[in-house]
Each structure stands twice: as C-alpha cells, then as structure tokens.
C-alpha cells in the first residue's frame, strides 16, 4: 500500500510539473485545457494517494540524494500529512475542473497557471518532506508561487499591495520557522525529521519551548492567526477565484499542519502552557475573524475573514488536544486531533467551493460588493444551489459537514473537567468563544447568501447576470464532497482514527462507533449522534411539506398574485434590507472593536426620506495594522534614515571611518598584548 | 598538465586584451571577451577537477600555488567572467551603435575588462602573499577604468572615490602583510618563503602571535575595503552604480570574492595560531556589513545601488559564516560565495540591460518590465528572489547553512541574523517587484533594437538555471571541492 501511495503521489507531482510547463509552452486554448486537465488528474491521484496513506497508517521514508552538510533530500509518507494530501488532491481536482471555464487563453493565464501548478507541487513537497531542508525549500517555494499567482491581475488596484503583504509576512513567518528548525537541528544534530522526532525528548526544556513558540508564531503567519492575519483579507480576495480557493482552502491549512507537525511529532508532549497558549490564540482568532466577517460587504473579503475564523476553530481544537495530552488524557487528545483534522478537511472543501462560486458571481456581475447584488438565485440556479450547500456547511448547520466537525470539537472541549481545574477553565472559555463565533457565522452567511442570492437585484449588473457558460463541475464536485463528508462521517472517522493511532499510538476506534453509523465522540457517558441518520431525517422532514404540496396540488386551484408590498406603489430594490443594515446590530454592539468612521452625505437638510440620495460610508479602523505593524515598520524606517548620513558622499569622511577602525584595531591589539 | 590548464585560465583573458587594438570594433571586442571568458571557464573547471583529484599545484617556490580553495575561487571567478563576457558583447554593441561609446571607449573597455579578469585569476593562483597583494592592487586599477568608462561627472567621481579609498585600504593591507611576514621571522626558511602561504601554514605554530594578530587585523581592514565590509564599504555603492552593467557584475561577483579569498588565507593562519580570535573579529565586521547593507537597501532609489548594498550584505554573510567557522560555517560561506557570484552576475547584467533600455537607474521610472520584455522582467524577478535567499534557488541552502552555524555558535546572533535577512528581503523585493509588475509607463518606450537582441539575455538564462539547480541539488564535484577547500585551510 505504501508503494502504491508513493507511486500515486509521484505521478501527481509529475503531472503538476508537466502542467506548469504546458501552461507556459502552449498558450492557446488546447494548451490551457490540457494544462488544467493535467492538474485535475494530478489532484485525483493525490486524493487517492492521501486516502491510501491514511488508511495504511504507517510512515515510510526514502532518501533520494543530497549532500551531507547542506542536508539530504528525503521524502516521507506520513499519516499526519495524509489528510492534508487528500485535501490538496480534492482541491486540485475541483479547481482543475473549474479553471478551463474561468480563464481565457493568453500570457497572463499562462503565467498564472504555471505558478498555480508549481504551487501545487510545492504544497505536496511540504507534506511529503522528510527532512528539514526539503520542508523549508518546499515551504518557501509554495509562498513564492502563491505570491505569483496572486499577481495574476497585477495591474488592478490593490493587487500589488495585497500580494506584497502576503510575501513579506510570509517571509517573516518563514524566518521564524527557519529559526525553529535551526534550533531543533542544532540540538539534535540531524536534519531528518524522523530522527529529529526520535531525539526530540533529549532537548533541554527551554529550547523545546523556544522552538515550539517560534513554530507556532511562524506557522501562525501562514495560517492567518490573529494578530498575524492582516495579509489574508488583502491577499486572498485579489487572486483569481480558483487561486483564492486554493489559498484559503489549502495554503493556510499548511500552517496548521506545521503546528501539528511540531506539536504532535517533532516535540511530542510539552508542558501544559503550550496547549493553553494555542487554545487561547485559537479562541481570539475565531472571535475576531468572525466579527470582521459579519460586517464585510465584499463577498471575497467576507470569505477571507471566515477563513480566519475557521483557522481559529481548528487551532482551538489543536490546542485542546495538546492540553489533554499534557493532562494525561491520551484518548481525548487523539480524539481532538481527529476532530481538528476533520475540520481542516471540511473547511478546505466548502471554502474552496465558496471562493469558486464567488468567482462565478464576480464574473457574471462584475462586482464583489454584496450590496450591489441580489436575486441571483433565479438567474444562477445551479450556482445558487451549490453555494447554498457550501453556506450551510460553513455556517455549521446540520446536516452538513461543518456541523459534524464543529460538534465533535465541542464535545471534546466539554471534557475539560477531566484535566487540572485551571486548564479546564480555559477549555470552557474556548467552548464559549466557539459558540459565539458559531452564532455569528450563521448570521454572516445568512447575510452573504440572503443578500446576494435572494430578493431582487440591486443593480443592473446583477439583473443581467446569466449562468450560461459558467463552470459548474468543479464547485458541484465540492458540494458532493461536502455532503459525503457529512453523511459518510463514520468512514471519515475510521480513516482519521488510523491517522491518530499512527501519530499518538492511541486506538480510538472500537469506542467511537456504534453499529457503524452512530458516533460516540468523546466519552462513553456523553452524547452520541449519527450524522447519517440526521441527514436522512432532515431530508425526510423537509420533504413532508413538498409532498403535501404535491399531493394537494392535484385538485386545488392556484392563483398568482404580487408579493404584499405594504401599500407601496412600486416595490423598488432600494427598499430591501441591505447587507450593511443587516450587520448593523453587530457593528453597534462591538463598536469598541471596529471604531468605525462614518461619512454621511445628504443632498439636502430635509429629514431622511425626503432628502434625495443619501451617501453613507463607513470605514473600520485597521486595529492591528495601526497598533502592531505600523510601529515596527516605522521603527525600521527610522533606523534606515538614522544611518543614512553615514553615506554622505564625502571621501574625507570615508577615509576617516577606515582610520578609526585601524585605531580601534590597534588599541584592541595593545589590550590583547598585555 | 595542471600547470598548463592553470596558466590557460588567466592567459586567455590576458590574450584578449590585445584583440581590441587589432582593428576590432565593438562586435569583435565583444566576441573576444565572451570567447575568452567561456574558454577560461572551461580551463578553470578542468583545473578544479585535476586539483580535486589530488594534484595541487606548487611551483616556483610557491609563487604558483593552486590548492582546492584556489581552484574553487578560480571556478567562481571564471564563471562570472564567462557570464559577464557574454553580457559585455550586448553592452558594447548596443552602446556603440547608439553612439554612446566611441571606438576608443569600446577598446578601453575590452582591454581593461580582460585585464581585470586576468589579474584576478592570477591573484587566486599564487601562494605568495606579496604577489597576491600586487595582483589585487592591479585588478583594482584595471577596474577603475571600467567604472569611469562612460565619462559622466558622476562616474568619474565614483572612480575617483574608488581609487582613493581602495588604495588607502590596500596600503593598510600591505602593512598587514608586512606584519605577517615579520611574524614568521623565527622560521628557518629563506626570506621569500616567509610570505609563502603553504610554508607559513605548515609552520603556523612557530609564527609569533602578537605580530600575526596585528597583521591579521590590518589585513582584514585592508582587504575588507576591497570586499566591502562595513565601515570600509563606502566606495562600493558609487562604483557599482556608475560602472556599466557587466563591469558592475564583475566588481560585485568577482572582485569582492577575490578580496574575500585573501582574507580567508590570512584567517586560516590566524585561526590556526590564535584560536577563535580571528573568527570573532570577522563576526564583528560581518554583522556590521549585514546591518549596513540591509538598512541602506530600504527605500533605495537607484536600483544599481540597491544591488550594491545587497552585495555588502552578502559579503557580511560570508564573513559571518567564516566567523562562526566549523564545517557548517565555512561550507555555508563558500557555497554562499558561489551562489552570490552567480546571482549577482545575473542581477547586475539584468540591471545593465534595463539601463540600456530605459536610460535611467531610478527605480520609480521603471515599471511593467514583465509586459515590455518578459525575459528581462522575469530575470529581474527571479534574480532578486534568488539573491534574497528564496527557495528554490541556491542562495537559500547556503544561507540556511550559515544560519544553522550561527545557531550552533550563539543562538541570539542567529535570531539577529534572521531579522536582518527579513529586512533585506522586504527591502529588496519591494523595490524590484514594483519594477517588474504594473503598467509600463506611457512614454517610457523601450529603446529600439534592444528587444530583438537575444544575445543580451544569453547569460541570464544559464545563470538562473544554474541557481535553480543549486537550489535543489548540489553537484557532487562542487560538494567535494568545497569539502577539500575546507580541509586545505583547517
């Protein structure tokens, strides 16, 4: 099985590399189609390879070259990475199906598709790296290629700035990861990850903690953890739709993978505060992320903020797993690890779906501003059904997959009383924070879907939207995957429990399932549920009114009348509830966080309603940028200005420097001599 | 056999100095330079293979001495000469056709470019520290002509500063060399052997510590001026910015390395006799250079100066690698030397092409290169990503090795170094991506005839390809050469 998985992944890598070359060499339509087909086929292979590796539950590594000083080129199939590989494959497959309908042939698309396929390859490299150097090379290559794919529309406003923020903060995070790996390699005397993990216990505690914190922050930059997230809402929306989907669906998950790699493998078993720190970061990330998402008007930025929220949920689960491990509850720790990976896969699936659909909406209407959309359900019927599935998934509503994994995480957090009291309190707080963010997420997506797809069009562009020619297969595949991940939850758990067993050595399975379809998540004496029966039940219940309607329709006479409009002469689009209005309660409640600036312009001073057009704008304070990043940038710039006079252009001064250095050297020499 | 090949490496460029005067015009001169460079590279690689196979060359009482370290630097410099020789062809033809360069200037360029190359290659193949000094000084004088070639007020000023400061530095190096000579006073060998590196290294325990220490400090300051270690780096930004593109590449990728080679020779003696003393001094200068390089790169308005500051930063990194020492440190430093030489050649040749097209060195006047010329824009993008240490290019591997060495030495210095590297990364890429992407300026039309000239881009593709290769796979021969070099100096 290992050999089969390795061959599948090798073929996937070869296909992606070939597709990257094809994209550049053949820029006409056939080249574009074969490039995306190759990338989709590679995705299918990677999906299969990832699932095989997870089921296999054993890791295998092979060194294929490299020097003895700089580092060997070692690749490794590891169960921990298996779910991420499968997710990578799924996303590549869906995006590959979506891309030919979305991109037009040309130099720009060729450049983009080349970068995209290389980014796929580099992501696979991160997941199969068996050596710190291979990991780092793949990691930063992934950042570079992702940066290039963000720049697809580099002539549009905001793209260069957003892309550069991605690159610069990516580099900052990368430097921290480099430091973490440098510490580990120096202290263990090896670059091989497996050997490093085996010798990890011998490292002195302070260095272990230093390496963990560096890795947490470094990978946190990539994952988009608050307050390291500021690049995410700038960079993800400006990429092409499929690029955004790939970035939000996969790349930020690799940050989670990095944290898990350090927490569960390289430095397995740390002090309690590691877990507490991770959990608290997760809670803050989830809450802040969703609070910014709720008030967002730009569809893609809203999705980007939701990625931050979901990263927070995943990090909370990862942190809780670490806390249970430190609190001597290995079974609960393994269980929460499973839940975290499950949520990674779920979020990757529906977030990619939603970004692809956001791309479709942007394509047909030319805007991402929710307050200019509306009524798309009737104009884009397929897209709206697919988007609805994704929306239900991301909002964590039953019976879709988001609900399953979030519920599993909640069940785990409720077991906090089994470890020492103070740490248990952290888990209670975490549960509360996730509950709050879950509620707000429902609101945000009621907002997003309701404003964009329901009602009547708010602009001519939205009214003229047509679905014909828009890609359907890719998002539809992801919608099917969302349903499958929910209905097939027991199968997913079987696969993931093998992963957990390989990583932690804990066997979860016999206690977790009753009669194959019912899950007992955390503990025997707690709740149990079956996503499969739930889905069947909910579908059945919602079918009842339809059946009643169909049954009664036979005899009854139907009449068609206008919607009740409250006595207005004509129902105008402006009378609908806007997204801004929808989110206003939240904006008022959390005004301290947003500190919004309002600009209201009226045509006249008459009371509202008779004043003619009113221009209403508000801007949210970029809190983290202003108080965290700007001071650092300003300090570095100040330093640069401070040293500038050194290079004044005066040769006498230059010679003086050398003279001073000679004098100092001579003085040092004299001191040393005595 | 080894001697023939060794002589060929510098004799071919030396022969090329007379070609321009044999009625050659821009085209002939360019061809001669490119051909000499490529032939010299072939000879250098052969030399490295021979030396690596265990035939170090030592003749004429050590005046000719080629060990693996020399061979490594000869290959590096010859590679740079080959790349810049190709670049010179494009430069000379374009500027001569446009009437920017007279025939005399073309000929001066050809002669002094080849002379510059020959002097450096000779300097790397002598074991006599006095002759080393003479040849390094000669290469400085030859390169000063190249800096001043375009005869603008600014380039004359830059050349003048270059000569004044370098000569001052090199004088200090001479004093230092004399002190090292003096430290060998108690050796029972003939006087000229007291300046012969292999002899000194063989009897390093007999060298007198005080004068060796003072000698090393002065040599480090003196050759450090050549290398561009802060605070002796002040000539470097002006000279690199004003020289023609290929000449800037030679200065940055070959001359600085030659100076570093001299420092490594003296450091080997000092470390063997005095322990970590020399290393600590190198660390101080190394970190000073990285700080200065990184901070001056922020918001630099002249892209050639930007790359010059990047060179200072990289020389500092190499000094840091040497300073931490050990297998990791020295390996990283040598690998970094090789990678930086290729990367900086590509960047300066690219910036030379940009200057030819836009007739400006100002960052804000260059926009949308990728649209106007995908090859030049792509080379600038990939070259600058490579030089700041982004995988999958070679510089990352060497920088990571140096970072590992610093964490093994002093972890807090490792953090400091990483912070500086991030600053350098952001400062350099923020400038170059602005030039590569975006909309080209409406009136900034590319100079006619340039876009069609493939030869101008001919050194860029192999250079970048080599860097990419070194980022994923270090050839066994190069690995062996570096390991042998380390063995030769420890």
User: Would you place residue A482 in the very low, low, confident or very high pLDDT band (cuts 50, 70, 90)?
Assistant: very high
Instruction: Report helix, strand or coil for A61.
Output: strand
Q: Scanning the structure block, which residue is given the tokens 């074991």?
A: B127
Nearest to B221 among A176, A646, A665 (CB): A665
Q: Do B408 and A643 lie within an 8 Å CB cutoff?
A: no
Segment B168-201, tens digit of pLDDT? 998 999 999 999 998 888 888 887 788 889 888 9
Q: Do B328 and A640 lie within an 8 Å CB cutoff?
A: no
Nearest to B404 among A185, A644, A665 (CB): A185
Query: Is A422 or A97 the better-scoring residue by pLDDT?
Result: A97
Contact list in A for residue B472 (CB cut-off 8 A) is 73, 137
In chain A, whose CA is at the least distance from the CA of B406? A182
pTM listed for this prediction: 0.93
- Tokens representing A108 are 């720009």
Segment A152-190, tens digit of pLDDT? 888 888 888 899 999 999 999 999 999 999 999 999 988
Q: Do B385 and A144 lie within an 8 Å CB cutoff?
A: yes
Q: Do A164 and B430 lie within an 8 Å CB cutoff?
A: yes
Average of per-residue pLDDT across B249-265: 93
Contact list in B for residue A643 (CB cut-off 8 A) is 292, 295-296
What does DSSP assign to residue A72? Answer: E
Q: Do A183 and B430 lie within an 8 Å CB cutoff?
A: no
Q: Do A178 and B418 lie within an 8 Å CB cutoff?
A: yes
Q: Do A171 and B234 lie within an 8 Å CB cutoff?
A: no
Size of interface A-B (CB pairs under 8 A): 157
Most confident of A29-38, A312-321, B357-366, B445-454: A312-321
In chain A, whose CA is at the least distance from the CA of B404? A182
Preferred mutation among A661, A663, A667 to probe B, highest tally of B CBs within 10 A: A661
Q: Do B429 and A637 lie within an 8 Å CB cutoff?
A: no
- Closest among B260, B130, B270 to B212, alpha carbons compared: B270
Q: Do A640 and B437 lie within an 8 Å CB cutoff?
A: no
Preferred mutation among B290, B400, B411, B412 to probe A, highest tally of A CBs within 10 A: B400
Contact list in A for residue B471 (CB cut-off 8 A) is 137
pLDDT at site B37: 93
In chain B, whose CA is at the least distance from the CA of A24? B374
Instruction: Report helix, strand or coil for A466.
Output: coil
- The number of residues making up chain A comes to 674
Distance of CA B292 to the CA centre of its chain: 18
Contact list in B for residue A188 (CB cut-off 8 A) is none
Nearest to A140 among B214, B292, B391 (CB): B391
3-state secondary structure chain B: CHHHHHHHHHHHHHHHCCHHHCCCCHHHHHHHHHHHHHHHHHHHHHHHHHHHCCCCEEEHHHCEEECHHHHHHHHHHHHHHHHHHHHHHHHHHHHHHCCCCCHHHHHHHHHHHHHHHHHHHHHCCCCEHHHHHHHHHHHHHHHHHHHHCCCCHHHHHHHHHHHHHHHHHHHHHHHHHHHHHHHCCCCCCCHHHHHEHHHHHHCHHHCCHHHHHHHHHHHHHHHHHHHCCCCCCCHHHHHHHHCCHHHHHHHHHHHHHHHHHHHHHHHHHHHHHHCCHHHHHHHHHHHHHHHHHHHHHCCCCEHHHHHHHHHHHHHHHHHHHHHHCHHHHHHHHHHHHHHHHHHHHHHHHHHHHHHHHHCCCEHHHCCCHHHHCHHHHHHHHHHHHHHCCCCCCHHHHHHHHHHHHHHHHCHHHHHHHHHHHHHHHHHHHHHHHHHHCCCCCCCCCCCCCCCCCHHHHCCHHHHHHHHHHHHHCCCHHHHHHHHHHHHHHC
Q: Do A661 and B221 lie within an 8 Å CB cutoff?
A: yes
Nearest to A67 among B237, B433, B479 (CB): B479
Q: Do B404 and A182 lie within an 8 Å CB cutoff?
A: yes
Average of per-residue pLDDT across A364-368: 87
pLDDT at site A87: 95
- Closest among A618, A576, A568, A614 to A374, alpha carbons compared: A576
Segment A40-94, tens digit of pLDDT? 999 999 999 999 998 887 888 888 876 778 888 888 888 899 999 999 999 999 9
pLDDT at site B123: 94
Q: Do A168 and B430 lie within an 8 Å CB cutoff?
A: yes
Phi, psi of A141 (to 5 degrees): -60, -40
User: Would you place residue B451 in the very low, low, confident or very high pLDDT band (cuts 50, 70, 90)?
Assistant: very low
**Strand (E) or helix (H) holding B168:** helix B153-183
Reply yes or no on whether the pLDDT at B204 is more than 90: no
In chain B, whose CA is at the least distance from the CA of A183? B407
Contact list in B for residue A640 (CB cut-off 8 A) is 295-296, 298-299
Q: Do A183 and B407 lie within an 8 Å CB cutoff?
A: yes
Is A261 in contact with A80 (CB distance < 8 Å)? Answer: yes
């Amino acid at each position: 099985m290992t050999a089969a998985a390795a061959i599948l992944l090798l073929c996937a890598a070869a296909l992606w590399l070939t597709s990257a070359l094809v994209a550049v060499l053949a820029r006409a339509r056939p080249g574009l189609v074969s490039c995306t087909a190759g990338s989709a086929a590679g995705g299918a292979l990677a999906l299969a390879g990832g699932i095989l590796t997870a089921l296999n539950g054993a890791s295998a590594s092979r060194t294929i070259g490299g020097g003895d000083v700089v580092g060997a080129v070692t690749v490794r199939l590891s169960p921990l990475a298996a779910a991420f590989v499968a997710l990578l494959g799924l996303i590549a497959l869906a995006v590959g199906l979506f891309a030919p309908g979305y991109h037009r042939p040309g130099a720009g698309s060729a450049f983009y598709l080349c970068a995209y396929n290389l980014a796929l390859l580099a992501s696979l490299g991160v997941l199969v790296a068996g050596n710190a150097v291979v990991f780092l090379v793949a990691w930063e290559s992934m950042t570079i290629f992702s940066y290039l794919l963000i720049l697809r529309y580099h002539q549009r406003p905001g793209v260069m700035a957003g892309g550069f923020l991605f690159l610069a903060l990516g580099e900052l995070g990368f430097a921290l990861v480099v430091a973490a790996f440098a510490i580990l390699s120096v202290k263990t005397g090896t670059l091989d990850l497996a050997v490093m993990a085996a010798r990890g216990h011998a490292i002195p505690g302070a260095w272990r903690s230093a390496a963990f914190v560096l890795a947490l922050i470094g990978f946190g930059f990539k994952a988009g953890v608050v307050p390291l997230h500021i690049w995410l809402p700038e960079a993800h929306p400006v990429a092409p739709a499929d690029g955004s989907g790939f970035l939000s669906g996969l790349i930020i998950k690799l940050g989670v993978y990095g944290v898990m790699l350090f927490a569960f493998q390289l430095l397995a078993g740390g002090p309690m505060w590691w877990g507490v720190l991770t959990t608290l970061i997760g809670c803050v990330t989830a809450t802040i992320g969703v609070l910014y998402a709720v008030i967002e008007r730009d569809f893609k930025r809203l999705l980007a903020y939701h990625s931050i929220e979901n990263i927070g949920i995943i990090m909370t689960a990862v942190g809780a797993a670490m806390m249970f491990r430190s609190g001597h509850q290995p079974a609960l720790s393994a269980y929460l690890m499973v839940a975290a990976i499950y949520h990674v896969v779920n979020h990757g699936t529906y977030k990619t779906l939603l970004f692809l659909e956001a791309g479709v909406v942007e394509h047909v209407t030319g805007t991402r501003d929710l307050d200019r959309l509306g009524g798309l359900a009737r104009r884009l019927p397929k897209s709206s059904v697919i988007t609805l599935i994704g929306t239900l998934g991301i909002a964590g509503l039953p019976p879709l997959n988001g609900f399953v994994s979030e519920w599993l995480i909640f069940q785990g957090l409720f077991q906090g009383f089994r470890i020492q009291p103070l740490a248990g309190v952290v888990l209670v707080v975490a549960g509360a924070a996730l509950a709050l963010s879950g509620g707000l997420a429902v609101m945000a997506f009621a907002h997003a879907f309701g404003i964009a797809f329901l009602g009547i069009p708010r602009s001519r562009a939205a009214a003229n939207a047509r679905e014909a020619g828009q890609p359907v297969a890719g998002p539809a595949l992801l919608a099917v995957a969302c349903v499958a991940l929910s209905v097939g939850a027991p199968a997913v758990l079987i696969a993931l429990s093998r992963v957990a067993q390989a990583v932690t050595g804990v066997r979860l399975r016999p206690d977790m399932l009753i009669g194959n379809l019912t899950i007992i998540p955390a503990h025997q004496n707690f709740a149990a549920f079956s996503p499969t029966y739930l889905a069947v039940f909910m579908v059945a219940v919602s079918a009842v009114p339809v059946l009643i309607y169909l049954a009664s329709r036979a005899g009854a006479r139907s009449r068609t009348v206008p919607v009740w409009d409250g006595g207005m002469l004509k129902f105008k689009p402006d009378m609908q509830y806007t997204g801004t209005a929808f989110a206003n309660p939240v904006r008022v409640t959390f005004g301290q966080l947003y500190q919004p600036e309002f600009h209201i312009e009226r045509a006249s001073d008459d009371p509202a309603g008779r004043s003619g057009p009113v221009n209403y704008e508000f801007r949210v304070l970029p809190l983290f940028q202003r108080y965290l990043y700007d001071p650092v940038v300003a300090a570095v710039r100040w330093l640069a200005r401070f040293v500038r006079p050194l290079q004044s252009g005066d040769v006498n001064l230059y010679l003086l420097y050398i003279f001073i250095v000679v004098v100092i050297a001579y003085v040092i020499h004299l001191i040393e001599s005595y | 056999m080894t001697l023939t090949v060794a002589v060929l490496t510098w004799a071919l460029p030396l022969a090329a100095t007379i070609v321009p005067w044999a009625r050659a015009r821009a085209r002939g001169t360019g061809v001669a330079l490119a051909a000499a460079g490529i032939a010299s590279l072939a000879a250098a690689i052969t030399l490295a293979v021979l030396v690596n196979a265990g035939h170090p060359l030592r003749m004429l009482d050590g005046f000719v001495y080629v060990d693996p370290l020399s061979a490594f630097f000869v290959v590096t410099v010859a590679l740079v000469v080959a790349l810049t020789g190709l670049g010179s062809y494009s430069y000379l033809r374009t500027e001569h056709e446009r009437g920017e360069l007279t025939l005399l200037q073309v000929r001066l360029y050809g002669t002094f470019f080849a002379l510059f190359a020959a002097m450096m290659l000779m300097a790397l193949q002598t074991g006599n520290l006095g002759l080393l000094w003479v040849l390094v000084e000669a290469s400085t004088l030859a390169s000063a002509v190249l800096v001043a070639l375009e005869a603008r007020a600014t380039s004359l000023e830059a050349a003048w500063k270059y000569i004044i400061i370098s000569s001052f530095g090199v004088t200090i190096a001479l004093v230092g060399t004399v002190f090292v000579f003096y430290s060998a006073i108690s050796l029972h060998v003939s006087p000229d052997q007291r300046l012969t590196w292999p002899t000194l290294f063989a009897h390093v325990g007999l060298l007198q510590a005080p004068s060796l220490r003072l000698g090393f400090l002065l040599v480090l300051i003196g050759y450090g001026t050549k290398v561009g270690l802060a605070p002796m780096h002040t000539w470097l930004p002006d000279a690199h910015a004003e020289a023609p593109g290929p000449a800037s590449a030679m200065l940055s990728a070959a001359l600085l390395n030659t100076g570093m080679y001299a420092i490594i020779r003296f450091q080997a003696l000092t470390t063997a006799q005095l322990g970590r003393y020399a290393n600590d001094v190198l660390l101080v200068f190394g970190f000073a250079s990285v700080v200065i390089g990184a901070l001056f790169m922020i918001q630099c308005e002249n892209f050639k100066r930007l790359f010059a500051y990047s060179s200072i930063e990289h020389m500092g990194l190499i000094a840091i690698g040497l300073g931490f020492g050990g297998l990791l440190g020295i390996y990283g430093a040598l690998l970094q030397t090789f990678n930086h030489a290729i990367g900086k050649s590509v960047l300066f040749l690219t910036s030379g092409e940009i200057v030819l097209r836009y007739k400006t060195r100002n960052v804000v006047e260059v926009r949308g290169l990728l649209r106007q010329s995908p090859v030049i824009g792509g080379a600038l993008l990939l070259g600058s990503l490579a030089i700041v240490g982004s995988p999958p290019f070679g510089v990352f591997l060497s920088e990571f090795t140096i970072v590992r060495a610093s964490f093994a030495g002093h972890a807090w210095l490792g953090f400091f170094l990483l912070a500086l590297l991030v600053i350098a990364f952001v400062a350099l890429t923020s400038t170059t991506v602005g030039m590569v992407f975006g909309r080209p300026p409406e009136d900034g039309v590319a100079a006619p005839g340039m876009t069609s000239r493939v030869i101008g881009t001919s050194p860029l593709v192999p250079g970048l390809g080599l860097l990419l290769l070194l980022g994923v796979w270090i050839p066994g021969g190069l690995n062996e050469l570096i390991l042998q070099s380390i063995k030769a100096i420890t």
